[in-house]
Amino acid sequence: MLDPVHTALLVLDYQPAILAALPDGEEYGHRAALLARVEGIVSDMRAAGGMIAHVRVGFTAADWDTIPAANKSFAPVARHRLMHHEDPAVAIHERLAPREGDIVVRKVRYGAMSTTDLDRRLRERGIDTLVVAGVSTGGAVLSTVVDAADRDYRLYVLSDGVADPDPEVHRALLDHVFPTRACVVDTAELRTLLRAG
C-alpha cells in the first residue's frame, strides 16, 4: 500500500538538454511518449494528494569553479562551461512545469540530495516514500536511489519513467540493481497503488 500523503514523486533531470541525449527510438517508446507517461503520472500523483519534487541540474560560474579536475563526470562540464542554470535548455521541460506547492531544487552532481536541501524539505512535509522518475537511469536515478535507500526512504522506481542513453545499463539497473533497494513498478502499477492508498 502507498499513502499519497506521505509520498513524493521525484522528477529528475527532465530537461531538454538531458532528454536530447536519449535515443529517440523503440527502447523508451520515443522521447515524446516518455514525457507523456511522466506528465500523466505527475497529474495522477497531484490528484491523489501526493507531493511533486522537481530536480534539475544546472551550474553557476561559482559552481563550475569548485569542480575539481579529478571529477571524471563533471570536470568537462566545468571546463567547457556547460549546463548554465539560466540556459533555457536546462530548465524543467515545459510539459512538466512546476506548480505552486511543488518542491523545486537545483543540483550540481548526479544525486538529488547530495548538493541540495531536498531531504530536509521532504522530511519537513512528512514524506517517507519516494517514487523516482528520471533521466538518466545510470546517472541521476542510480545516485538518487542509492542515496535515498541509505536515508531509509521507502522507494519505488518508475520503470517506464526512467531512461538512459545506454539500453544495456538501463536494463541491468532495472533488473538487477534497483530491486535490491526499491520496488520497481510501471505507471499502470503505480496508479493501482495510488487508488488503493
With 0.85 as the threshold, say if the pTM is over it.
yes
Cα-based angle 60, 64, 67 (whole degrees, multiple of 5): 140
CB 66 within 8 A of CB 6: no
Dihedral of CA atoms 101, 31, 89, 18 in degrees, nearest 10, equals: 90
pLDDT tens for each residue of 150-187:
999 999 999 999 999 999 999 999 999 999 999 999 99
Q: What is the CATH number of domain 4-196?
A: 3.40.50.850
* 128, 49 Cβ separation under 8 angstroms: no
pLDDT tens digits for 88-140?
Answer: 999 999 999 999 999 999 999 999 999 999 999 999 999 999 999 999 999 99
- For residue 6, the tally of other CB atoms under 10 A from its CB is 17
d(CA 145, CA 157): 8
Give domain limits for the chain: 4-196
